[in-house]
Amino acid sequence: MTYPQLRSEDPELDHETRSGLPSLVLAALGVVYGDIGTSPLYAFREALHATAGSGSHRDNVLGILSLIVWALTIVVTIKYVSFVLKADNRGEGGTLSLMTLARESLSGRPAWVLVLGVAGASLFLGDAIITPAISVLSAVEGIQVVAPALSNWVVPITLTIIAVLFFVQRFGTGGVASVFGPIMALWFAALGVSGAIHILDDPAILGAINPLHAMRYVASNIRLAVAVLGAVFLAVTGAEALYVDLGHFGRRPIVTAWFSLVFPCLLLNYFGQGAFVLANPGMAAHPFFGMHPEWARIPIVCLATAATVIASQAVISGAYSLVRQAMHLNLLPRLQILHTSETHSGQIFMPQVNSLLFVFVAALVVFFQNSSGLSAAYGIAVTGEMLITSVLLFVVMRRVWGWRPASAAAIVVPLFLIDTGFFAANVAKFADGGWVPVLVSSTIILIMQTWMAGRRLLAARTKADEIPLAVIIDKLAQKKPPTVPGTAVFLTSDVEGAPTALLHSLKHYKVLHEQNVILSVVTTTRPFVPDDEKIFLESFNPLFSRLVITFGYMETPNIPRALVLVRKLGLKFDIMSTSFFLSRRTILPSKKGGMPLWQDRLFIALAQNASNATDYFGLPTGRVVELGLQTVI
């Protein structure tokens, strides 16, 4: 995926000047719509299964199809395409971007908005472990229709595909991604054509576009409505990807792809499945694969498998992107980031995240064995995130767009009620597998809360022991120690205090370099910071300067690259004769600390497993000096 480094004032213009609209639409098909594009494999089937054979078969099919049609129309077309995509944070989308946009618009930056953002990000990661499992498993299950004798091989084949998928992440997806768009275009075309052909099996199926069928079905099947709604929601899972990937392509290509190809082809396929099942009630177990002629079943299984791998790739890349945002917003510890492209900074690989995702995805496949079992686990995370999006959207409408309360409520309240209905329907599946994303999301929320609380405690302890920088500089000016040639850069997170590394260096070496730079790296709530706004340089005297480098939360901090910009401001130095001084802390738990002892130990474990500052900031390893100290929290 591609993340631009610099933005113009018009994000849409910026995207389309880098690449033409048709190519961006094609690329968006491969990245944005992989998840929702594979829903026809299982959504209609699971909704039919939820009816448990009760009531009129025709009424069930028409009612379920009507629910799917209007879910796609209201949740995706109206909510996400028409409104949420407009709530961009300088061109970037996603839960954390919406959270920062809403929080910045409110005075005092209330904590409840941060809580919603953390919960939304955690729910997305909970969803990220289910999508590859259910998507690939549902595609491979087509083997049961093509060759029933191979049914026992479904899980092993699925695990093999997933293992290969996660293994190739380390090599980058730039080359493979170039074919994602054409494959997904072929997939949607196949969906549309196969669906259109089977609509002729029972053209009356088109009557499902009338919402009265949905209302009548729910009214006459109250006891089953919750289970059916939970299955119907599977048709719109992946809608959040439209917003998460906004920064990759811009709004116009995403909207164009939806209306020109994705939405029509999805509708045609669902209608085709409905007509096929009406004409062939015995094929309700696997309507998607059953509706294809025998000669086309092997190719469609292969194409479906390719589409589900692409959908999984998009979710994996989205997880990398979200974790990186959370790291830069200090919601998670620093994790190793490897760039897999020399030209696109957004193509990254995160080994720890990749390994954890693989373990969880493989465990889900082994535990549930089939996509029907997994469908129960799918939904709580997505509906929860959609609810959070609705709340934050209301804040943005009021505070950023300047809408009247009544106007904003008229749009958001109905959407919120629909999201609540879907959420309640999915909560009903908690015992059957819905606990999986809840457990994962709760664990991530605990980790984020522990990391934020631990950082605050650590900062407070450190600040209590620090000496103001101005005091140190005045003392050194009065009694100047011996100097040695070269430049020393002292990294500190506190812009005002004297770096701990500077104090320990003076204590042990009793000398100063000819040029000393106090460096702080700041991450702003903007996704990207232009080069001409990145650097703040302040000179105290010939010995000392203060340097503040500001990065956006979508950028990967690289100090050596940023120092090139500093030379233009008059700070002359040779990086190969520059020493970078860091303080390495050993954190000790305390029974009388600000957190319970178990949480202290969790924070310490997170800190110990975080990437070191040398790697995180891209510092030349041969020029780094680390000075150790202990801190009790």
Q: Which two tokens stand for residue 267?
A: 């509708």
If residue 293 lies in a helix (H) or strand (E), which one and from where to where?
A: none
Is 417 buried (19+), middle (13-18) or exposed (0-12) by CB count in 10 A? exposed
What pLDDT does residue 177 have?
A: 60
- Measured CA to CA, the distance from residue 541 to residue 557 in angstroms comes to 28
Question: What pLDDT score was predicted for residue 359?
Answer: 93
| The pLDDT value given to residue 541 | 84
For 555, phi then psi, to 5°, come to -95, 155
Beta-strand pair 624-632/483-491: unpaired
Q: How far apart are CA 52 and CA 611, in angstroms?
A: 52
Rounded alpha-carbon distances, angstroms, from residue 260 to 29, 206, 250, 511, 553? 11, 20, 16, 68, 33
Distance CA 130, CA 468 (A): 50
Closest CA to 63 of 221, 173, 177, 195: 221
In angstroms, the first-to-last Cα distance of the chain is: 40
Q: What is the pLDDT of residue 201?
A: 92
Query: In three state form, how does the secondary structure of 396-447 look?
Result: HHHHCCCCCHHHHHHHHHHHHHHHHHHHHHHHCCHHHHHHHHHHHHHHHHHH
CATH no., domain 11-452:
1.20.1740.10
List, as one string, the DSSP characters of 147-191: -GGGGGGHHHHHHHHHHHHHHGGGG-SHHHHHHHHHHHHHHHHHH
Distance between CA atoms of residues 138 and 42, nearest Å: 7
Q: What is the mean pLDDT of each run of 10 residues along the chain (633 residues)?
A: 38 51 83 87 88 76 94 94 88 84 86 89 86 87 81 89 87 66 93 94 93 90 84 88 79 92 96 93 84 89 89 82 84 82 64 91 90 80 90 92 93 93 87 85 91 86 76 83 89 81 84 89 85 88 89 85 83 81 81 81 86 84 82 75
- If one counts every other C-beta atom within 10 angstroms of the C-beta of residue 36, the result is 25
Q: Are strands 348-349 and 338-339 parallel, antiparallel or unpaired?
A: antiparallel
Tokens of 348: 């990254």
Per DSSP, the three-state class of 519 is: strand
- The residue type of 521 is V
| Domain segments of the chain as ranges | 11-452, 467-632
DSSP 8-state secondary structure symbol assigned to residue 206: G
Taking a C-beta distance cutoff of 8 angstroms, is the pair 388, 419 a contact? no
